[in-house]
Amino acid sequence: EMADGGLEAAQTVADLIAAELGWDERERNRELDTYRSRVEAERAAHLEASEDAAGAARARAPEIRAGAA
């Protein structure tokens, strides 16, 4: 696992897979924003003192689209 949660590579990866997945620029940007939000939420969760608080921190980020994987 990368210390930055893969954020440094995310732009390059999105650029590489966008055409394969049929993403236009808007969709690519949306997917990147969602990924960044999920990484930030996970980082925030690790700073929480309880599992409940960690779960709440994770819940603040948008969900990954169903069928996106």
| 6-62 pLDDT tens trace | 999 999 999 999 999 999 999 999 999 999 999 999 999 988 999 999 999 999 888
Between 27 and 68, the higher pLDDT residue:
27
Whole-number Cα distances in Å, 9 to 13, 24, 32, 44: 6, 19, 11, 20
- Count Cβ atoms below 10 Å from residue 45 Cβ, excluding itself: 18
Confidence category of residue 69, pLDDT binned at 50, 70, 90: very low
**pLDDT on residue 68:** 52
Residue 66 has pLDDT above 60, yes or no: no
Q: What is the DSSP letter of 18?
A: H
Q: Which two tokens stand for residue 5?
A: 């949660």
This model's pTM is above 0.85: no
